[in-house]
Chain A
């Protein structure tokens, strides 16, 4: 597999902008990235709880985190901040996130065509070998990726 060229899209700068959005409201932040992947984080917060009895995070914020991590991986692989929309996203919830722990989401774009990007990713809460969720999805570029 050929390595994608270093990207001119800078996710750290992108997440530094912090404009009013769902990602900002959830507290999603940048961690690290590579040529076709990105890692974002979702710190534990009480207003993200889905089950008050256990304090476990709702599944929605994890879906949103993985939507963002995979979207950023596409911009990295495409080398530009291209307008795109999520076509579909499937998530398997492997186990509940441990209350109090930051969730880390890693998204990867493993195939990019002129109009469609294929992505996958995993989320964990400290140990990448003990993931909490797995995702697969596709994005579409409204005006093409290249």
Chain B
């Protein structure tokens, strides 16, 4: 997975996975919102990159252009001073549209700090 400039701004690194990669975002001033907590926009950006990573893996290539149509983020817990991980899951891969979900966590994957669902347009 080749990360775009925006992913480098977030400091993202990629951990390969069987179904989808896990993206890791370190805590720091560049992703800070209110003092001591992650910015909601940075969490949303991480979730979107995780969703795109899952979609590229499902498509079997990162050459296919995908465009986000919409994104809904639920923020569940404040993001604290520790690394945040996120993974996407493709719930339906159509010929023109993909439905993708993503979840972000810090300590345990079953204690999410945020989750998102997205529709992507696939330009084959």
Residues of B close to A6: CB separation below 8 A: none
B45 touches A46 (CB 8 A): no
- Segment of B31-39, B53-61, B87-95, B97-105 in the binding face: B31-39
Range class of the A interface residue count: 20 to 34
Which of B41, B44, B69, B71 has the largest count of A CB atoms less than 10 A from its CB? B41
* Whole-angstrom distance between the Cβ of B36 and the nearest chain A Cβ: 11
Q: Which of A45-94 contact B (CB under 8 A)?
A: 46-52, 57-61, 63-65, 67-68, 83, 85-93
User: Is A1 interfacial (CB-CB < 8 Å)?
Assistant: no
A26, A51, A59, A64: the one contacting B40 at CB < 8 Å is A64
User: Smallest Cβ distance from A87 to chain B, in angstroms?
Assistant: 6
Which residue from chain B places its CB closest to the CB of A63 in the assembled complex? B44
CB-CB nearest in chain B for A20: B29
Chain B, residues 15-45, CB within 8 Å of chain A (1/0): the string is 0000000000000011111100001111011
The chain B residue with its CB closest to the CB of A23 is B39
**On chain B, which size bracket covers the interface?**
20 to 34
**Which of the residues A47, A90, A93 comes within 8 Å of B5, measured between beta carbons?**
A47
Interface flags, A20-58, vs B, CB<8A=1, else 0:
111101100000000000000000001111111000011
For B74, the chain A residues whose CB sits under 8 A away are 87-88
Q: Give Cα A90 to B115, complex, Å.
A: 12
Docked CA distance A67–B39 (Å): 9
A28 and chain B: residue at smallest CB distance: B41
